[in-house]
Amino acid sequence: MQVPSIGLSPVVLAIVGLAFLLLLLEAFTIGYAFLRRVQERRQESIEQPIRERILEIVRTEQPPYDAFISGLSQREYTAATRETQALIGQTSGTTATNLRTLGKELGMHETAVKKLNGSDRIDRLHGLTTLSLLRHPPSATDVRAQCLENAVLRGAGANALASAGTAQGYREALNVLYHESSNRLSVLGMETVDSIGRDKPGLLLDELTDKMADTSERELVQTLLVFAELEMDGEPVDGLPQWITTALAAENPRVRAAAVASLRCFNPGIAQYSTVAVSNAIVDSAPSVRRAAAQTVDSWANNEMLLAELADQLATEPDERVRQSIVTTLLSHGHRPQRPLPTAAMESWSWRAALTDIQAREHA
């Protein structure tokens, strides 16, 4: 007697095959997770005691670097470099200084320079990060050769060059950031400009005098916004830097707004040119520029002339967001308009005053 054959449709075969593949995938995932966990536990068993030994060593008056390093196995050495780098970013003062010394004794800077000069972009970024943490600047030649291809690498390279806090390092960092091939700053690039400006504002102004002449509009706006967060001793005696003056008169309102914001860095008590520029911006044709003017006045100490001009502008200001910025500035400086306000301006004033009062009670 013949057993009848049962035909399986392609759909059934596909479902069976898919189920089998899913079972294999699940088995692989479980196995991989198990092996990964075993590896992590093994790594933790090495890293934790190494971390404790490192902290004990760097907190002594004369850290025994050589004795510590000579007693490390290969796995412990790898763990030591990893833990040292992590701890540098978590500590400060003498402990961080000793950790940087330990990192150099471990040869971390040499490994980082090799990564910088390698072909892999991620390795280059990792190498530059290590050099920045160690405050061991690479050569400017290496950075120019390896980091000019995009903004992220330029920012990392400039940050590494500036990491030691020297005037020469700052100049080299700015040369990289504002290289002729550059059209924008990365976040790290902007942070580097900010750190240079906070440490040596005069040097930053001097170095940017020529560099900003040929920069892209995007990079110009980014630089102006960095200046908005800085604090300068005062304006240059011969007036605002030419590149800021040019930006104040730019056709693009985004550039003009950023230029007005940049004036916050100057002390208004000795910043007559900035005061005139902000006065002009209060009645600019672009709402974004007028709003930047109100916010700049708010960031300065009381300037009765500009506050009075803002109060006059409030009466005729057509843009709600600008009115809110003006009212915020006037309220924060205790300045009330001297004449009755039209309905739209009065509504803006009442709403912002009520919100300010609520916020004050919440923080009381």
Position 133 in a domain:
yes
Structure tokens at 302: 């009381």
Taking the C-alpha atoms of residue 351 and residue 346, their distance in angstroms, rounded to an integer, is 9
Instruction: Specify the number of domains making up the chain.
Output: 1
Name the helix (H) or strand (E) containing 286. Answer: none
More confident site: 230 or 268: 230
State the Cα–Cα distance between residues 75 and 198, nearest whole angstrom: 41
Would residue 82 count as lying in a domain? no
* Full residue range of the structural domain in which residue 127 is found: 107-214
pLDDT one-digit tens code per residue, 70-123: 989 998 899 999 999 999 989 999 999 999 999 999 999 999 999 999 999 999
Q: One-letter amino acid identity for 315?
A: A
What is the distance of C-alpha 196 from the center of its chain? 13
Specify if 169 maps to a domain: yes
C-alpha distances in Å from residue 317, one per residue of 7, 42, 87, 261, 297: 81, 67, 53, 19, 16
Residue at 174 is within a domain: yes
Residue 341 predicted with pLDDT over 90: no
Query: Looking at the predicted structure, is the pLDDT value of residue 190 above 70?
Result: yes
Q: What is the pLDDT of residues 42-59, one digit of tens each?
A: 555 568 889 999 999 999
Beta strands in the chain (DSSP E): none
- The answer to whether residue 323 is domain-embedded is no
Per-residue pLDDT at 298: 94
The mean pLDDT value of the chain amounts to 88
Express each pLDDT in 228-260 by its tens digit.
999 886 666 567 889 999 999 999 999 999 999
Does some domain include residue 320? Answer: no
Strand, helix or coil for residue 179: coil
Which residues, other chains included, contact 54 with Cβ-Cβ below 8 Å and sequence gap of 6+? 68, 80, 83, 84, 87, 99, 102
Q: Is residue 256 part of a domain?
A: no
Q: Is 5 within a domain?
A: no
- How confident is the model over 112-166, as pLDDT tens digits? 999 999 999 999 999 999 999 999 999 999 999 999 989 999 999 999 999 999 9
